[in-house]
Amino acid sequence: MTTDPYEHLDPSVLNAMDDVELMVKSVVNGYLSGIHKSLYQGSGLEFIQYRNYTQGDDLKFIDWKAAARTDKIYTKVFQEETNMDCHILLDCSASMEYGSKSNTNENTISKLQYMKIAASCLTYFIYKQGDKIGCTGFSDDIDHHIDASNKKEHLENILANISNSTAKGKGLSDKIEDFIASSLHNRGIVIMFSDCLHEENRVIDLLKLLSHSNYECILINLFHQDEVDFPFAGSKVFIDSETEDFIVTSPELIKEDYLKEFKTFQENIRSQCIQHKIEPLTISTKLNLGEVFNQYIRFRNGIYK
């Protein structure tokens, strides 16, 4: 019998939790307990714990005194000290609203809600790792901007801002790009949540710019499951959330072409990301948060190896 280790990270379940702090703590702590052995371990200053010696461990980390007392060989585990700024960019454009009950008449989680949960959990997760965390939310304009810091009050501020985010406007603009580019100076990681449904390559261009500024960039390309599956039937008037352009058509007739176009779009985003050394992560609102964390950890480990 196999069980999903990230069952408790189902976004639809987390969406029902009102207390954001409680939610992120439960998520992150639960996640961390599940991946205990993969914590960042290194030669930092802060001792964390002992563990049994295993073949291949560095001999310099063996606690010989303890070995003398107990006749067992233990290896010291230290928490790695980092000095990394991590900044989360939140795309709060109107297209992120898709999936809410008012929009689809179905009780599904919207892209915005998913982004809020994922961003909150990731913020806490990063905070727990000891890295500095900052956050910028934008829609028509910059909704909020918090510089990176690792203070607890700072964390609470970020979580509150994330929680209060609303979807509106067309998203990225020159003004927003300029602001973000001028606000981020230190070396660090930029995690951007977006559906990339902006003007052509605006998201890539922004991340490319940040990448050139010594930032390691992760693009979490977020889609609603409906956008992936296109499960509509009957005659529909499709109205663009941002531009309010509309198309009247029968979904059954256009589904095949739509899926083809959508797949091309995703591959295009991915290829551009790889080209510009941006870590792409395409997820749908159906995916649980464990995948997000794993991706982030892989990426984080990749940077420091």
Query: Interface residues with other proteins (CB under 8 A)?
Result: 94-98, 103-104, 195, 197, 223-224, 227, 232-242, 245-250, 252-254, 257-258, 261-262, 265
Q: How far is the CB of 49 from other proteins (least distance, A)?
A: 47
In the complex, what is the shortest distance from the CB of residue 252 to other proteins, in angstroms, rounded to a whole number?
6
Residue the block writes with tokens 């500024």: 213
CB of 95 to other proteins, least distance (A): 3
| DSSP 8-state secondary structure symbol assigned to residue 81 | P
Residue 247 amino acid letter: I
Tokens coding 73: 């060989």
Nearer to other proteins, 197 or 292 (CB): 197
CB nearer other proteins, residue 70 or residue 271 = 271
Contacts of 202 (CB under 8 A, 6+ apart): 171, 172, 177
Q: Do the beta carbons of residue 207 and residue 217 sit within 8 Å?
A: yes
CB of 188 to other proteins, least distance (A): 30
Toward other proteins, which CB reaches closer, 45 or 237? 237
Least CB distance from residue 129 to other proteins, whole Å?
33
Question: Cα(69)–Cα(213) distance, rounded to whole angstroms?
Answer: 52
Name the minimum Å distance from CB 99 to other proteins: 9
**What is the distance between the alpha carbons of residues 115 and 99, in angstroms, rounded to a whole number?**
12
263: CB partners within 8 A, 6+ apart: none
Nearest to other proteins of 77, 228 (CB atom) = 228
Between 7 and 229, CB nearer to other proteins: 229
DSSP 3-state percent helix, strand, coil across the chain (nearest 5) = 45, 25, 30
Q: Which two tokens stand for residue 37?
A: 């052995």
The CB-of-107 to other proteins minimum distance in angstroms stands at 16
CB nearer to other proteins: give 242 or 291: 242
Output the CA torsion sign for 224, 229, 230, 233. negative
Shortest spacing between CB 201 and other proteins, in angstroms = 13
Specify whether the backbone of 64 is left (phi greater than 0), alpha (psi in -120 to 50) or beta: alpha
Report the chain's terminal Cα–Cα distance, integer Å: 35
Structure tokens at 192: 């951007």
Pick 259 or 274: Cβ nearer other proteins: 259
Q: Are 217 and 179 in contact (CB under 8 A)?
A: no
- The smaller minimum CB distance to other proteins, of residues 29 and 166, is found at 166
Q: How far apart are CA 93 and CA 220, in angstroms?
A: 15
